[in-house]
Amino acid sequence: MNQPQASSTAVVAKGLENVIAAESAICFIDGLQGKLLYRGYNIHDLAEQSTFEETAYLLWNGELPSREQLDEVAGQLRQERQVSDDVLRIVRDLPQGTVPMVALRTAVSALAAYDPEADENTPEANYRKAIRLTAKVPTLVAAIHRVRQGQEIVSPDGELPHAANFFYMLNGRKPDEVEARAMDLVFVLHAEHGFNASTFTARVIASTLSDTYSAVTGAIGALKGPLHGGAAPRVFLMLEEIADVSKAESYIKERLARKEKIMGFGHRVYKVEDPRATHLREWAKQLAERSGKSRLYEIALEVENIMKQEKQLACNVDYYAAVVEASLGIPWDLFTCVFAASRTAGWTAHILEQQSDNRIIRPRAAYVGPEERRYVPIDQRS
Ligand SMILES: CC(C)(COP(=O)(O)OP(=O)(O)OC[C@H]1O[C@@H](n2cnc3c(N)ncnc32)[C@H](O)[C@@H]1OP(=O)(O)O)[C@@H](O)C(=O)NCCC(=O)NCCS
C-alpha cells in the first residue's frame, strides 16, 4: 500500500515568507531601503504630486495618463459612483450594529447581482468593472455609515474629485482644501502594495477565472483581519486607551512583556520605515497643529519612540493613517473600509494582471497527518 509522502524534508515557508509567487509589473517594494514604487513611480512623488484618479489610472494601465486620459478616467469614475437602490436596500436591511467591513463585504458581493457584465471575463469588461467597483466602494462605505447613524444617504457630487466626494458623502459637507488634500493622500498611499494578503487573495480568486466581484469580496474579507487592514482601528483604540503621553511607556512595556503585538508596528517586507508612514506622520502633525487638537498625535509620537527603543520596530502605514483619519473626523471603525475603498484600485489592477497571463494558483501543503490507516466501522470503534 502506498503511504503518503513523508514531508519532513520539505522546506515550508510559513506565511509564504519570501516566496515569489508570480511576476508582477505593478508594484516594487524594497523593504531594506524603504522604497515603494507604483509602476516605477516613487510613492514620494505620487504622494506629493499625484491624485487618486491619476494613481488608479497608472495602476490599471501601467503609464501615467495624458490630460485627456485623466479627464476620461475621472469622468468614468464620477459616472459610476451611484449605487442602485437595490444594493442600498441590502445595506439598510442589515441589523443595527453590523460591523462596517461586514456590511461592505456583503454589499460588494451584492453589486455583482446587479451588474449584467459581472461574469463577462474579457479584459475590456474587467477594466470597466475595475472602474465601476473603485467608483462605488466609497459610495457604499459612506452609505453604510449614514444608515447606521440614522442619517439620509448623501448622493455623490459630480463636481468633486474622488476622495473629496467620499468625504462629502460621509459627512454631508464638502471638505475644505486641506481636508480634500489629506483625504486624497490617504487614498493614494493605500491604493497598492504588491502581494499583500488581500491582494494575493484577490489574485487566487481571479486565477480560478472567477469574476472581479468575487475576487474583491474575498480581498475585503482578508483586509478585515487585525494583522492587515484591521490594524488601523486598533491603533486608534490603543492611543485612546493610553489617553495621555505620560502613560504611554508603561502601557507599551506591559504589553510587550506579555508578548502582545502593538498594532501599527512591524511589517513582513519593510525592515526600515514604511515610506507611506513618513507622509502620514507629516500630515498627522499638520492636521493636529491646524485643529489645535494634538493629543492623539503626541501620544502616537511617544509610542513610536518607545517601540523604536524597546523593539527596534518601525511603524507601518496603518499607524499614522489612524491619526490622520481620526483628525479628518472619520469614525475609527470605518478606517479599514477607507483602506478597502482605496485598495480596490490595486486589487483590480492585480485581477487584470493575473487574468492577462493566467495559471491557477494552487500550492501544496507539506503533509504532517497520520499515515494511511484502515477504516473502522462505527460500531467497532473503541
Ligand atoms: C505586520 C505583521 C503581521 C508581520 O508579521 P510577520 O512578518 O509574520 O512577523 P512576525 O509576527 O513573525 O514578527 C517578527 C518578530 O517581531 C515581533 N513583532 C512584529 N510585529 C510586532 C508588533 N507589532 N509588536 C510587537 N512585536 C512585534 C514579533 O513578536 C516577532 O518577534 P520574535 O521573533 O521575538 O517572536 C506583524 O508585524 C504584526 O502583527 N504587526 C501588528 C499588526 C499590524 O500593524 N498590521 C498592519 C500591517 S501593514
Q: Dihedral (C-alpha) 109, 171, 85, 219: value to the nearest 10 degrees?
A: -10
CATH 3.40.50.2000 holds for 27-227+334-356: no
- Looking at residue 284, its pLDDT comes to 98
Residue 37's DSSP bridge partners are 28, 42
Domain with CATH 1.10.230.10 in the chain: 231-327
Nearest ligand 1 atom to the CA of 266 is: 37
Q: Which residues does the chain have with pLDDT short of 50? A: 1-2, 6
- Looking at residue 11, its pLDDT comes to 87
| CATH architecture of structural domain 231-327 | Orthogonal Bundle (1.10)
Q: How far is CA 167 from the centre of its chain?
A: 17
Ligand 1 site: residues with CB under 6 angstroms?
15, 227-228, 231, 261-268, 311, 313, 316-318
Distance from Cα 312 to the centre of ligand 1, integer Å: 12
- Looking at residue 147, its pLDDT comes to 98
Tell the burial category of 155 from Cβ atoms under 10 Å away from its Cβ (0-12, 13-18, 19+). Answer: middle
318 is catalytic: yes
Query: Could you tell me the end-to-end alpha-carbon distance of the chain, in angstroms, rounded to an integer?
Result: 25
- Looking at residue 9, its pLDDT comes to 62
Q: Which entry of 190, 193, 267, 350 is annotated as an active-site residue?
A: 267
Nearest protein Cα to ligand 1, atom 35: 259
User: DSSP 3-state assignment of 269?
Assistant: coil
Q: Where are the alpha helices (DSSP H) in the chain?
A: 43-49, 52-61, 67-79, 85-93, 100-111, 123-148, 162-171, 177-190, 197-207, 212-223, 231-242, 248-257, 275-291, 295-311, 317-327, 335-356
> Which whole-number Å values give the CA distances from 6 to 13, 154, 191, 369, in the listed order?
17, 60, 42, 10
Nearest protein Cα to ligand 1, atom 34: 259
Residue 355's DSSP bridge partners are none
Block residue for cell numbers 468575487:
214
Does the reported pTM lie above 0.85? yes
Contact 93, 110 (CB under 8 A): no
Nearest protein Cα to ligand 1, atom 14: 266
Q: Which entry of 115, 184, 211, 318 is annotated as an active-site residue?
A: 318
Q: What is the pLDDT of residues 207-260, one digit of tens each?
A: 999 999 999 999 999 999 999 999 999 999 999 999 999 999 999 999 999 999
The grid coordinates of residue 95 equal 441589523
157 is catalytic: no
Query: Cα(292)–Cα(272) distance, rounded to whole angstroms?
Result: 31
> Interhelix angle for 231-242 vs 335-356, to 10°?
160
> Which whole-number Å values give the CA distances from 232 to 85, 95, 164, in the listed order?
31, 24, 21
- Looking at residue 154, its pLDDT comes to 98
Distance from Cα 266 to the centre of ligand 1, integer Å: 5
Domain with CATH 1.10.580.10 in the chain: 27-227+334-356
The per-residue pLDDT of the chain, averaged, comes to: 96
